[in-house]
């Protein structure tokens, strides 16, 4: 059951350094939203505020509101652990647990929640691996270590692990930047299928990728190094890449800077 994300006035700090400032946006359920922008503009930081991973970094601190439907993720008494069970995340470098088999990797999140019967576990693992388009490649070696797969397979394994717990939102932090073009294509196809079920936010440095996979695109930028990153504009992807309303966006997309 995908949910809407509603961010208002969000500012994030690393210690005393302000990394992003006053960001507001809405992400509709069952859409793909791409974050683009130059390095250091805070798009990854912003992504990590959406599942409260930002505060894991020492000195990480957030002001503002993030609503998931009507629930404020930063409200008093909200447990970051339960937030992360609703908002899944896929990282830049594939990070399956090296000590676990493929099966255990996918089951890891389910076992955390603790209320899954053993008999159901196998079904959910199979469903998740099918959902990540990985089932046919690994069904004969579910007990082999996940670290023995190729980079692209590992990343799809991580996606299977993330969707196995049925999150409401799936965050992806440059999921293809460590992959070859064929693996990238496989992940992009997968994103198209996953948006039927999840709200997806993806950070990417690859503008063709943003244009290919996303419905909406947000452009982030920073005035200068050391300045906080800001949201310049967010609009339908088609519009951002054809006729953006801010000059800086057009400059970035057409390769004039960044």
Partner 1 sequence: MDTTQITDAPPPTPQPTPAEQKRNARGATRPGDRIFLGLSRGSGILLLVIMAAIAVFLTYRASLALSKNHGNFLTTFEWNTNVTPPSFGIAVLAYGTVISSIIAMVLAVPVAVAIALFLTHYAPRRLAGPIAYVVDLLAAVPSIVYGLWGALILVPHMTGLFGWLNDFFGWTGVFSWDQGAPRSLLTVGILLAVMILPIITNVSREVFRQVPQMHEEAALALGATRWEVIRMAVLPFGRSGVISASMLGLGRALGETMAVATVLSPDFLIHGSLLNPGGGTFAQNIASKFSEATEFGRDALIASGLVLFVITLLVNGAARMIIARRKEYSGANA
- Binding segment for partner 1 among 12-20, 77-85, 209-217, 246-254 (CB under 8 A)? 77-85
Instruction: Kindly tell me which of 1 and 56 has the beta carbon lying closer to partner 1.
Output: 56
- Binding segment for partner 1 among 93-101, 116-124, 176-184, 186-194 (CB under 8 A)? 93-101
- Each as own residue / partner, the long-range contacts of residues 25-30 (CB below 8 Å, 24 or more positions apart, any chain) are 25/218, 25/231, 25/234, 27/169, 27/199, 27/201, 27/216, 28/4, 28/199, 28/216, 29/2, 29/3, 29/4, 29/199, 30/2, 30/195, 30/196, 30/197, 30/198, 30/199
**From the list 165, 211, 213, 240, which residue makes contact with partner 1 (rule: CB under 8 A)?**
165
**Under rule CB under 8 A, residue 23 binds partner 1:** no
**Under rule CB under 8 A, residue 84 binds partner 1:** yes
For partner 1, the binding residues in 141-160 under the rule CB under 8 A are: 145, 147-148, 158
Contact between residue 201 and residue 222 where contact means Cβ atoms under 8 Å apart = no
DSSP reduced 3-state for 135? helix
**Under rule CB under 8 A, residue 178 binds partner 1:** no
Contact between residue 106 and residue 157 where contact means Cβ atoms under 8 Å apart = yes
Shortest approach of partner 1 to residue 231 CB, angstroms?
23
Shortest approach of partner 1 to residue 217 CB, angstroms?
24
**Under rule CB under 8 A, residue 88 binds partner 1:** yes
Shortest approach of partner 1 to residue 96 CB, angstroms?
8
**Under rule CB under 8 A, residue 168 binds partner 1:** no
Count of residues interacting with partner 1 (CB under 8 A): 31
């Amino acid at each position: 059951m995908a949910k809407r994300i509603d961010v208002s006035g969000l500012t994030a700090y690393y210690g005393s350094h302000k990394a992003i400032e006053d960001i507001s946006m809405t992400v509709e359920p069952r859409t793909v939203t791409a974050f683009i922008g130059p390095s250091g503009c805070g798009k990854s930081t912003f992504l990590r505020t959406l599942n409260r991973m930002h505060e894991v970094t020492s000195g990480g601190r957030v002001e503002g509101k993030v609503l998931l439907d009507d629930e404020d993720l930063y409200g008093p008494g909200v447990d970051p652990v339960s937030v992360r069970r609703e908002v899944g995340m896929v990282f830049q470098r594939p990070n399956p647990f090296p000590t676990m088999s493929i099966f255990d990797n996918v089951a890891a999140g389910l076992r955390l929640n603790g209320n899954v019967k053993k008999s159901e576990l196998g079904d959910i693992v199979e469903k998740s691996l099918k959902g990540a388009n990985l089932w046919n490649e690994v069904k004969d070696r579910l007990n082999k270590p996940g670290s023995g797969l190729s980079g692209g397979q590992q990343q799809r394994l991580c996606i299977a692990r993330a969707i196995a717990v049925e999150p409401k939102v799936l965050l992806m932090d440059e999921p293809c930047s460590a992959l070859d073009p064929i693996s990238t294509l496989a992940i992009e196809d997968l994103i198209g299928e996953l948006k039927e079920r999840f709200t997806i936010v993806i950070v990417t440095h690859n503008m063709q990728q943003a244009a290919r996979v996303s419905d909406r695109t947000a452009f982030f930028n920073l005035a200068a190094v050391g300045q906080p990153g800001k949201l310049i504009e967010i609009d339908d992807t088609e519009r951002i890449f054809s006729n953006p309303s801010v000059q800086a966006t057009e400059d970035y997309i057409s390769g004039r800077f960044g």
